[in-house]
Structure 1
Amino acid sequence: MISRRNIRVKVMQSLYAVDSMNEVKPGEAQSILTKKMEQSRRLFIYLIYFITETARYVETDARQRASKHLPTAGDLNLNTKIAGNELLWKIIENSNYIAAINEIKPEHIIDKELLKKIYQSLTESEEYKEYVGIAARDKKSEKDILEFIFNTLLLPNESFINHVEEHFINWDDDAEMMQQLVLNYLQKSSIYDYKEIAGKDKLDFAKSLLQTVLDKKDITMEMLKPKLKNWDADRIASLDLIIIQMGICEFLYFETIPTKVTINEYIDLAKEYSTPQSGQFINGILDNIHKELSAENKIHKVTFKNSTL
């Protein structure tokens, strides 16, 4: 589910949290990483839940309309096609999804008034009218209407984002990742495991990268310090130092990750999470260290299929 880039962000954030502590207990860094992964897992489940509840609100709407004192013909014949959306039911009948919902209990935090307003926006949209206007069902249209709820009605909705931020402190960090995860999920919902946000290989990579950076800090800083002689050390962002240490560790201790991938990934992370000048700074330092290590024949990479992921 989660990509290696997302993993790097989680590790970077965990290292930054550790760096900010006066005292770090044994195993605390790994606990921080585990907590961050769990926060992402719960956020992902909640987003899927909100999408499904928006689609299923038509059932509530139909019941309320039919129970009016004087229901109109339209009230009694509300088009409830979306309630039978085949992808929707594939999701909500999945035993793993049911277990996840029972575990995190999203019904306790959902804003029912907000849910109703988003449902009303759905029914007023041309996309929805076109969807219910066709009796036939096909996989594409069933998926497209759920994607429409997420992409058009939820993500740009300030009230929805405020609601999510209120309950999930990791939204700002995970928003871009979640958008991709949810869209990927709607493409292939059956292959997702709600128990973990990352598969075993990626989880092992996360734990290994975190521990390696911590264990090899003296080595990486020894390589790094000579490269900082033309820089004011006090003005170098601590996050930049962490990113460089991560990059050096990937050069030396992760033999299946090409050095070019490492450099590009950490330049992007620096641009996104650190200062405006950090991308250029990281690029220069990592490129310099990479050339030095290569000249000393200290970088040994093994080529495996999909090793660039």
Structure 2
Amino acid sequence: MSSSKSSPNSNSTAKKANQRGAARLAAVQALYQMDIGRTSLDHTLSQFMTFYMGQEIEGDEYLPADKNFFKQIVEGVAKNQLQIDPLIDKSLVEGWPVTRIDSTLRAILRGATFELLHKKDIPAKVIITEYVDIARAFFEKDEPRVANGVLDNIARQHRSADLGDGAKN
């Protein structure tokens, strides 16, 4: 049985990456909660930062997360949603706007799109991989492929130089 705790000799880069991954997962869960439960941004941030990150609740262990990074993602999506949703809409199959797709997938795409647009210090491929992995954690069918396709399309439009594969705008 593996433990989610770092060993004392873990290097700080891996620890930071793991904490960012946990922050992304928590952000997706928070965005989902805000979308479905219609909870406010402040209430959701407070609830997650106080009760979930690095805690065990009802047998579910929540990994330690970079709380600042988590907050940046959730606040960034809330602040930029009018910019984010149309980009996702354009990358989805016609007739399936972002409001029509599964709410968990919607949260994944919104978090990743925010990062692609506003976190230029993080390589686009890293962002896409992290969020496709989150999609795989929630879905077993087509959703991870949908996430990959949508995010790749958005990255090609807004971060083509970062992809390093000759993609054009």
TM bucket, shorter chain: 0.7 to 0.9
Root-mean-square deviation (Å): 2.4
Alignment-mate amino acid for residue 27 of structure 1 = D
CA distance, structure 2, for counterparts of residue 36 and residue 236 of structure 1 = 29
CA distance in 2, matches of 1:244, 1:274: 14
Partner of 1:243 in structure 2?
Answer: 108
Q: Deviations over 1:192-216 (max 9, x none)?
A: xxxxx44xxx221111111101111
Q: Which residue of 1 aligns with 2:47?
A: 32
Distance 1:27 1:37 in 2: 15
User: Alignment identity in percent?
Assistant: 23
* Larger RCO of the pair (alpha carbons < 8 Å, separation 6+): 1
Aligned residue in 2 for 1:267: 132
Note the C-alpha offset of 1:169.
Answer: 2.6
Q: Choose between structure 1 and 2: higher helix proportion.
A: 1
Q: Is the 8 A contact 1:237 1:275 kept in 2?
A: no
Structure 1 residue runs of 4+, over 6 Å off?
none
Between the aligned partners of 2:121 and 2:102, the Cα distance in structure 1 is 29
Larger radius of gyration: 1
CA distance in 2: counterparts of 1:232 and 1:26, whole angstroms: 26
1:8 match: 24
Unaligned ranges ≥5, structure 1: 44-167, 178-196, 300-309
Instruction: Provide the residue aligned with 1:291 in structure 2.
Output: 156
1:221 match: 85
For each residue in 1:94-150, what CA deviation from the matched residue of structure 2 results, as whole angstroms up to 9, or x when unmatched?
Answer: xxxxxxxxxxxxxxxxxxxxxxxxxxxxxxxxxxxxxxxxxxxxxxxxxxxxxxxxx
With normalisation by structure 1, the TM-score equals 0.42
Contiguous gaps of at least 5 residues in structure 2: 1-14, 163-169
For residues 288 and 276 of structure 1, do their structure 2 counterparts lie closer, same or farther at Cα, with a shift above 3 Å needed? same
- The two structures have a TM-score, normalised by structure 2, of 0.74
Alpha-carbon distance in 1 for matches of 2:101, 2:41:
28
Structure 2 residue 58 is matched with structure 1 residue 169: yes
Q: Secondary structure at the match of 1:255?
A: coil
Q: Deviations over 1:133-189 (max 9, x none)?
A: xxxxxxxxxxxxxxxxxxxxxxxxxxxxxxxxxxx3361x64xx5xxxxxxxxxxxx
CA distance in 1, matches of 2:137, 2:118: 25
Number of aligned residue pairs: give it.
145
Match of 2:120 in 1: 255
Distance in 2, Cα, partners of 1:229 & 1:277: 13
CA contact (8 A) 1:212 1:249 kept: yes
- 1:276 and 1:221 map into 2 onto residues whose CA distance is 23
CA contact (8 A) 2:36 2:103 kept: no
CA contact (8 A) 1:267 1:283 kept: yes
